[in-house]
Every structure is written in structure tokens, then in C-alpha cells.
Chains A and B, each alone.
Chain A
């Protein structure tokens, strides 16, 4: 058995031949739109090319559908965020509505922040939001959450670490 970091492109090509149409069908039955399903199937194989995989796949279809499910949930989150963003924009006075370009940049940053917040425990999430969006200092956050300064510093560092990974590694 060959030990490799990722699957070889030839292996992925074989998987593609054997399972692509099955995966498209599986996705179509879930998203209800064949074009959208085709895009997701494509993204699934792209993800597979980059995935770390040490041995040949034992259950290729289970593996493919779990990647595809992750992609659907990512999209669902992004959609939920976009919806929340549109609604929030609607509440702004016209003068404060950012330009089209700024709107997209902000949305992108918010999407990453949203994903990061999901990976954090509630206390770290709260500390990070208090620091980042409410402008509270470490001392104020420590008082508010009833924990030590050092704990707040650790929480903030953890949160920034997650943001960093999403910003530079998973791009």
C-alpha cells in the first residue's frame, strides 16, 4: 500500500468516472436543481484532490457524500449570512449604506468571521465579539464575563488563531 499525503490525480480520475453521475444524482435529489447539483459535484471532486487521504477509499460514496454534505452546509451558512446582511443593510439610513464594492468586501470578512465564531466555545465567542465589535478592553471584558484577564487574552488569541487559519490557509 502506498502512503501518500493526498490521493493521486489518477485515483481521483478513476473515482470521478465511477461515481460522478451517482453523486450528481444524489445532490440533485437534495438541492432540487440540476445545475446547482452539477456545480456542487464538481466542487466535491476539487475538494477531494486537496483532501489529505492516506489510504485508498474503502467507502468512496460515503466519503464523497460527506464532503458534498459539508459543502451544502457551508453554502447554507453563507446564504443565511447573506440574508441576515441584506436585512441589516435595509435597516441602515441611506447615507450609511456602504458602496457596492465595500458591501462585498464587508460581506466576505463577515462570512469568515461567522465561520470562525462557529468554531469557538461560547465564552471565547462572546469575548471576541465584545472586543472586536463593541470595542471593550480586556479588563472590561474580564469584568463582564467574570473571568481573569489572562483567560480573556487566551480566548482572544484563540479566536484570532481561528480567523487566521480561515483567512490564509483555507482560502
Chain B
């Protein structure tokens, strides 16, 4: 007989795992359950193997689904990008990285740099074609070049692309809500809850929404593209290009919206109480120090900032 502490043999563990698959991920018929009971009793090590394996199954089943999915997706993506990036390193000259990711105590971001940014980080890249790209906070892109075309995929977050006009390969851009194509343009893409925000500064962009007919987008236009492919010109309370210069620049923006903007650049929770959410904010703020932005708010508005922890901050009425 095994002592309770001894590990079951691999063969028993493998069998227990096969049973777990049958019992948990399928709808087992009574016969299967009978066979399982028979297996359990057929070897002195089987109950221990089953105990460990089913405990593991319980742990995994107990994970909150949405939270886990989101976390793993984000984490896996960082790794995938890192691997892709090893290939891309040859073609990408990585410029200075802004924000506080540079202050990470572990210097591995330099060691294993990738085409994504952490919360609060902004980064400039230069494509092998000479195009200039900027990634905003918590963003990720994939870039690839072939003899016929240049491709950028917005994996998440926000990016600005200032293409090199001397390269005449078309640029194709993939997003969640559809594709864009351009020969030369300075454009900005931002994923948001509604879909995608597209702003064009220079050049000529054609939008191919996933389920609507193509539309030319011209310099000065800002479009909100919805998840279903429809789109609409919008006027914003903020300058969508501000972050490319390191600032958040807003006009009469409701405080709730403003705080949601600032929260994009801060790890942890940042909340705004509903009773102050409609107060209006105007001004230009430095993104490099979000703590200071919050501090400044208390001077111009009747609000106060509560730090429950460094990562849990609420804005309420003063």
C-alpha cells in the first residue's frame, strides 16, 4: 500500500487523467461511471491518483472564466509577440521606449523586446520600410513585409502609423472590425468598446469594413467604426493625436470619461464616483505622470482623490 504522501506512478496518473477527461468534459453515460468505479477499485494506487487529478481538475474548474481568459490571452500574446519579434528584430530598429516600463527593475524587456507595450508605456518603432510607428499604452501590433505589400495588424490598443511615402508597396492594415488599405498615410487607430476609432492626418485611406461597402477616408476625418462594420464621423472631447506627443489634451470632457482615459495609462483600478462624473475638464496634461494629473484635478474641480492602495484609486466629491 502506498503511504498517503507517496506519489502515484505515472501509469496510474495517466489513467486517472483519461477518466477525468471522460467524466468532466463529456456527458458520461451510467456505464462509463460504472467502469470508472471499477477502475478506481482495481489498483491500490488508483484512488490516490484520482484524488490528485480530480483536485487539479477542481482547481482549474474553479477559475473565474472571464478574468482568466482575459489574463491568459494578454499574457500569451506578449509571449507570442516576443517570439515573432525575434524574427522582426532584424527589420525593426527599436527606438527609445517612453514611460515607466523603462524603470522595470528586471531589464528583460530589453533582452526580449517585443512589439507590444505594457500599461503606461509608449513606444516608437521604425519599420524596415522606413515607416514610423508609435504604440500607445497596453497595445500590440504585428508587422510584416513582403515584396508586394506591407502589413500591420492591430492586435490590441492604439497605434499611429506614419508611412514612408518613398516606398510604393501598398500598406494593408488588419483590425477587429475590418481592413484598411493605403499607399501613403499618417493615420491613427484605436480599439475601443464600440469598435475602432480611425483618424487620418495625411494621405488617402480606404476602409473595408467587415460588413459594409468600402469608404475613402481623407485627411482631417475621424470615424468611429462599429463592431458590425457601420461607421460615422465623430467629434471628440479630446485630441486623438495627443498621446503621440505625450499629452492628454481635452476640451469640456466629462470627468467620468476623462478618468477612463487616464485609467488606460495606469495599472490597477481607477474609478470615478457617479456624482462627479459630469463635471467638465479642459486642459493639456502630461501622460508621463498620471499621479500628478489626478493631483491637478483637485485644484480645478471640487473633487478629492482617495488612494485605497497604489493600485486602487477613487475620485469622489470633495
Interface residues of A (CB under 8 A from B): 30-33, 36, 72-73, 75-77, 79-81, 83-92, 94, 96-98, 106, 109-110, 113-114, 117-118, 129, 131-135, 137-139, 153, 156-157, 160-161, 163-164, 167-169
Residue in B17, B268, B271 whose beta carbon sits within 8 Å of that of A164 in the complex? B17
A90 touches B268 (CB 8 A): yes
A-B contact pairs, 9 of them (CB 8 A): A72-B106, A77-B75, A83-B267, A87-B119, A88-B74, A91-B70, A97-B269, A131-B25, A160-B57
Q: How far is the CB of A162 from chain B (nearest CB, A)?
A: 10
B21/A156 in contact, CB under 8 A? yes
Q: Is B221 an interface residue (CB 8 A)?
A: no
- By a CB distance below 8 angstroms, the chain A residues around B104 are 79
Contact A164 B25 (CB under 8 A): no
**Which residue of B21, B52, B106, B271 is within 8 Å of A76 (Cβ)?**
B106
B41 within 8 A of A: no
The answer to whether B26 and A138 touch across the interface, beta carbons within 8 angstroms, is yes
Tell me the complex Cα distance, A1–B268, Å. 56
Name the interface residues of B55-100: CB closer than 8 Å to any CB of A: 56-57, 59-76, 78-79
B14 touches A81 (CB 8 A): no
Assuming the contacts A84-B74, A164-B53, asked whether A106 and B63 have C-beta atoms less than 8 A apart, the reply is: yes
Main secondary structure of the interface of B (DSSP, over half): helix
Separation in Å of the B63 CB from the closest CB of chain A? 6
Contact A168 to B52, CB < 8 A, known contacts A84-B78, A133-B68: yes
A110 & B65 in contact (Cβ 8 Å cutoff): no
Q: Report yes or no: B25 in contact with A138, Cβ–Cβ below 8 A.
A: yes
Residues of A close to B112: CB separation below 8 A: 73, 76
For residue B227, CB closer than 8 A to chain A, the reply is no
Q: A117 to B268, Cβ gap below 8 A? A: no
Q: In whole Å, how far is B106's beta carbon from the nearest beta carbon of chain A?
A: 5
Assess the B18–A157 pair: CB atoms within 8 A: yes
Contact of B263 with A by CB under 8 A = yes
A164 to B27, CA, bound (A): 23
Contact A33 B105 (CB under 8 A): yes
8 Å CB contact of A77 from B7, B79, B269: B79
Chain B residues contacting A134 (CB-CB under 8 Å) are: 65, 69
Given known contacts A84-B71, A89-B269, A90-B267, A113 and B78 CB-to-CB distance under 8 angstroms: no
**In the bound complex, CA of A168 to CA of B14 (Å):** 14
Contacts of B231-274 to chain A: CB distance below 8 A: 263, 267-271
A87–B25 CA distance with the chains assembled, in angstroms? 30
A156 touches B70 (CB 8 A): no
B44 within 8 A of A: no
Please report which residues of chain B, range 145-180, place their CB below 8 angstroms from some CB of chain A when the two chains form the complex. none
**What residues of chain A lie closer than 8 Å to B52, measured between beta carbons?**
164, 168
Chain A CB within 8 A of B125 CB: no
For chains A and B in complex, what number of residue pairs have CB atoms within 8 angstroms?
Answer: 150
Interface residues of B (CB under 8 A from A): 7, 13-14, 17-18, 20-22, 25-27, 52-53, 56-57, 59-76, 78-79, 104-108, 111-112, 118-119, 138, 263, 267-271, 311
Which residues of the other chain, A, contact B71 by a CB distance below 8 angstroms? Answer: 81, 84-85, 87-88, 110
Query: In the bound complex, how far is the Cα of B118 from the Cα of A114, in angstroms?
Result: 18
Cβ-defined partner of B72 (8 Å) among A32, A76, A117: A117
What 7 A-B pairs come out closest when comparing CB atoms?
Answer: A84-B74, A88-B70, A84-B75, A76-B108, A81-B75, A88-B71, A85-B71
Taking CB atoms, residues of chain A closer than 8 Å to B62 are 109
Contact yes or no, A161 B56, CB < 8 A: no
**Residue contact A113 to B70, C-beta cutoff 8 Å:** no
- A110 CA to B14 CA, complexed, in Å: 22
- A84 CB, min distance to chain B CBs, angstroms: 4
Query: Cβ of B72 and Cβ of A153 under 8 Å apart?
Result: no
Within the assembled complex, what's the spacing in Å between the Cα atoms of A132 and B111?
33
Q: A residues within 8 A CB of B14?
A: 157, 161
Q: Which A-chain residue is minimally distant from B26 (CB atoms)?
A: A138
List the B residue with the shortest CB-CB distance to A78.
B75
B67 close to A90 (CB less than 8 A): no
Chain A residue nearest in CB terms to B57: A160
Shortest Cβ distance from B59 into A: residue:
A109
- Please tell me if the beta carbons of B67 and A88 are within 8 angstroms of each other in the complex: yes
Complex Cα distance, B72 from A87, in Å, reads: 11
Do B27 and A137 touch across chains, with their CB atoms under 8 A apart? yes
Bound-complex Cα distance A76 to B111 (A): 10
